Amino acid sequence: MYVDADARLSAALTAASSDRIVFDLTGIEGQYERLLSELPDVDVRFAMKACPVDEVLTCLADRGAGFDAASPTEIEQALRTGVPVARIHYGNTVKSDANIAEAHRLGVRTFATDSVQDVAAIAAHAPGSRVFCRLATSGDGALWGLSRKFGCSRDDAVRVLDAARAAGLTPAGLSVHVGSQQMTCEAWRQAFDLLADTLVALHEQGIAVDHINLGGGLPALGYLDRHGTRLDPPLDKMFAVIRDGMEQLRAVNGAPLDFVMEPGRHLVADHGAIRAHVYRLTSRQKSDGERVHWLYLSSGKFNGLYEMDQLSYRLVFPRHVDGPQVSAVVAGPTCDSDDAYGSGHHPVPVPEAVTSGDPVWILAAGAYATSYMTQGFNGFPPLPYTCVRDTSSLAGTDTTLAGTETTRGN
């Protein structure tokens, strides 16, 4: 029954008597170390939006991670972990004048950009800062392409960094984002080719950057697609493509070149789970005569499962190991029709015997759970969270330590 949840999460979920999110700090730390072993030359800046939980941020900072912050509030939260401000960059290309000035006051000196207008604002409110320009990518192959709102063309990137140089800023780097939960190696190859072409174009204008930010996009491994099939991204091959691409860019650059990445879900998704409960399993006949089962849960789109439009989450019913099942549409508790798996989702196998109040574990829910929760839509409060850690190395026994329950307020 517990085959899909590791021992720490299983123990914490079993012990939980009420709804909450559980984060496995030891698992997150291990995932961070595995990433460093695959890409040892990369400076990791955790994308805070994926999991803005103080304990998670602190455990990553203690391991040496920096942070990709998207607002002054995130910068302040990152600083509370004790991370040096030099290891925080402002990774959002959308910034008001007040945002820029406040970030500069807090000590941040590296900013993402993608337009000459933003460059002018940075020069005015954060003079002397370093900027890196985000290139637009297609987003093909990702569950969330992120291709429309951010980034510019190669030629525009040259103009942007030239404008930065003229304004007294340091044109420090380039960045890309291949799309969130990227499933293909080809997207990475195309990104490296675009970066190489842009480096050449910059050299022709006498601009030499010192780093490349490879953005996010590294996938989690615990999701199901909308048909209920486990997503299986070729992660090992992706790492090989990234290592080759880094060497390609170093050769093109002809000078030392540092690399940054902004992983988010890759570090936390598979090491968080939600303990929810069943509201009701119902059966309703549609107008065409078809009878459909619906499984209503206490957690849905607005309180923990925001990404249910693109994903199916793995469900565990710890009180129902065997017995007959029915296929049901999964939905959350609110009075909103979007709070459910959509028409493109296949029904989910559910134990026929589930009743109101039965616990259900929602796995691979560690990313974008706390950050996307509403502050009480329809009167449903945000879920509290608990953090657990393996203490065996300290106590000499195979135990876990549960953190204090915390209501979302970060």
Last residue of a domain, one of 219, 237, 269: 269
In angstroms, the CA 144 to CA 161 distance is 28
- 174 Cβ contact list (under 8 Å, min separation 6): 132, 133, 134, 135, 157, 195, 198, 199, 202, 209, 212, 213
Q: Does 410 fall in a domain?
A: no
* Residue 34: exposure state from Cβ atoms within 10 A (0-12, 13-18, ≥19): middle
Catalytic residue annotation: 335
- Kindly state whether residue 401 falls inside one of the protein's structural domains: no
What confidence tens digit (pLDDT) does each residue in 11-33 have?
A: 999 999 999 999 999 999 999 99
Q: Are residues 300 and 370 in the same domain?
A: yes
Answer yes or no: do 288 and 233 share one domain: no
Among 269, 289, 307, the domain-final residue is 269
Confidence of residue 7 (pLDDT cuts 50, 70, 90): confident
**Closest to 316 (Cα-Cα) out of 222, 253, 379:** 222
Shared domain check, 232 and 88: yes
Residues 284/296, Cβ–Cβ less than 8 Å? no
Residues in a beta bridge with 134: 175
Cα(345)–Cα(157) distance, integer angstroms: 39
Main-chain dihedrals φ then ψ at residue 247, nearest 5 degrees = -65, -40
Q: Is residue 95 part of a domain?
A: yes
Tell me what the mean pLDDT of segment 115-131 comes to: 99
Whether residue 230 is found in the same domain as residue 136: yes
CATH code of 80's domain: 3.20.20.10
Q: Running DSSP on this structure, what letter comes out for residue 403?
A: P
Residue 178 forms part of a structural domain? yes
| 193 and 296, same domain (yes or no) | no
Query: Cβ distance 62 to 389 under 8 Å?
Result: no
Number of domains in the chain: 2
Please report, as a single letter, which amino acid is at residue 198: T
Q: Domain check: are 260 and 288 in the same one?
A: no
In a domain, 44, yes or no: yes
Both 355 and 254 in a single domain?
Answer: no
Residue 182 structural domain: 25-269
Residue 397 banded pLDDT, cuts 50, 70, 90: very low
Q: With pLDDT > 90 as the criterion, what percentage of the chain qualifies? A: 90
Give the CA distances from residue 155 to residues 171, 378, 396, in Å, rounded to whole numbers and listed in that order: 15, 47, 59
User: Which among 128, 127, 146 has a CA at the least distance from the CA of 136?
Assistant: 146
400 assigned to some structural domain: no
Query: What integer pLDDT is reported at residue 405 of this predicted model?
Result: 56
Coil, helix or strand at residue 259 = strand
> Is residue 368's pLDDT more than 60?
yes
Tell whether 278 is covered by a domain: yes
Residues 122 and 231 in one domain: yes
Nearest residue to 333 (alpha-carbon basis) of 395, 380, 286, 396: 380
Range with lowest mean pLDDT among 43-52, 273-282, 398-407: 398-407
**Cα–Cα dist 106/93, whole Å:** 18
Q: In this structure, are 71 and 215 located in the same domain?
A: yes
Burial of 2 (0-12, 13-18, 19+ CB in 10 A): middle
Tell me the mean pLDDT in the region 39-55: 98
Residue the block writes with tokens 């998704």: 269
Q: CATH number for the domain including 362?
A: 2.40.37.10
* 308 and 216 belong to one structural domain: no
pLDDT at 343: 85
Of 248, 269, 290, the residue that ends a domain is 269
**Are residues 33 and 146 both part of a single domain?**
yes
Average model confidence (pLDDT) across the chain? 94
Do 244 and 126 lie in a common domain?
yes
Does 395 have pLDDT greater than 80? Answer: no
Residue 292 placed within a domain: yes
